[in-house]
């Protein structure tokens, strides 16, 4: 049996990034409970060919590999910074280059970050409809984190703990449980 592959993609160019910190934190929580291979990308990893690409064939090799990993993932972890009430344009453009049938039925964890709580509905009003268009299976629990949930670019918020627990519950049955007797290096 092959190990399920979780592909994390964040719509940020910043390094360090709150969005990357959030998706990285979630990935580590998932990895602690489930046997899963994790691959993480941000828009820097996609590279400069994304902006001018009209079609997937216009992407360079590096960007095509990121798209191939997104399409072949067993589970997607999507994270978006919030800009003016929505996800960044190039983040959306990346998904514009994917055929909707390629994400049909794929489980997707939706996350977003923003400067304050006034952007919290970006997950429900922007990301969930986007992945609904693809007929992907967005998990019920989405995570939004604002500036107060981070310290030194790390998740440091007790208020998110219940959301993380709910998200991990959503994953039961989707991923195999980690064997408690095996110790894995981080």
Residues 78/9, Cβ–Cβ less than 8 Å:
yes
Quick check: is 132 in a domain? yes
Quick check: is 181 in a domain? no
What are 172's strand-pairing partners? 175
Residues 11/87, Cβ–Cβ less than 8 Å:
yes
Handedness of CA 154, 159, 164, 167 (dihedral sign): negative
Quick check: is 178 in a domain? no
CATH, residue 31? 3.40.50.360
| Model pLDDT, residue 185 | 46
Q: What is the mean pLDDT of residues 52-60?
A: 97
Quick check: is 175 in a domain? no
Quick check: is 68 in a domain? yes
Residue 137: how many CB atoms within 10 A of its CB? 17
- Cα gap 146→142, rounded to integer Å: 14
Owning domain of residue 33: 5-167
- Cα gap 185→42, rounded to integer Å: 24
Quick check: is 172 in a domain? no
Kindly report, residue by residue over 43-55, the tens digit of the pLDDT.
999 999 999 999 9
Query: pLDDT tier at 1 (50, 70, 90 boundaries)?
Result: low
Q: What is the pTM of this model?
A: 0.93
Q: What is the mean pLDDT of residues 139-149?
A: 96
Q: What is the mean pLDDT of residues 158-179?
A: 91
Quick check: is 179 in a domain? no
Count of the separate structural domains present in the chain: 1
Residue 8: how many CB atoms within 10 A of its CB? 26
Quick check: is 183 in a domain? no
Of residues 144 and 117, more confidence is placed in: 144
């Amino acid at each position: 049996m092959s190990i399920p592959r979780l592909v994390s993609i964040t719509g940020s160019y910043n390094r360090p990034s709150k969005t990357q910190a959030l998706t990285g934190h979630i990935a580590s929580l998932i990895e602690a409970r489930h046997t899963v291979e994790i691959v993480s990308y941000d828009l820097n990893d996609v590279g400069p060919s994304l902006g001018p690409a009209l079609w997937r064939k216009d992407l360079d090799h590096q960007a095509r590999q990121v798209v191939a990993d997104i399409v072949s993932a067993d589970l997607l972890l999507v994270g978006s910074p919030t800009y003016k009430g929505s996800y960044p344009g190039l983040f959306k453009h990346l998904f514009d280059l994917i055929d909707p049938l390629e994400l049909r039925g794929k489980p997707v964890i939706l996350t977003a970050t923003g400067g304050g709580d006034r952007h919290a509905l970006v997950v429900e009003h922007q990301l969930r409809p986007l992945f609904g268009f693809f007929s992907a299976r967005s998990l019920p629990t989405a995570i939004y984190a604002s500036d107060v949930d981070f310290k030194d670019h790390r998740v440091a918020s007790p208020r998110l703990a219940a959301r993380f627990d709910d998200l991990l519950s959503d994953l039961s049955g989707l991923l195999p449980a980690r064997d408690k007797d095996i110790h894995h290096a981080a």
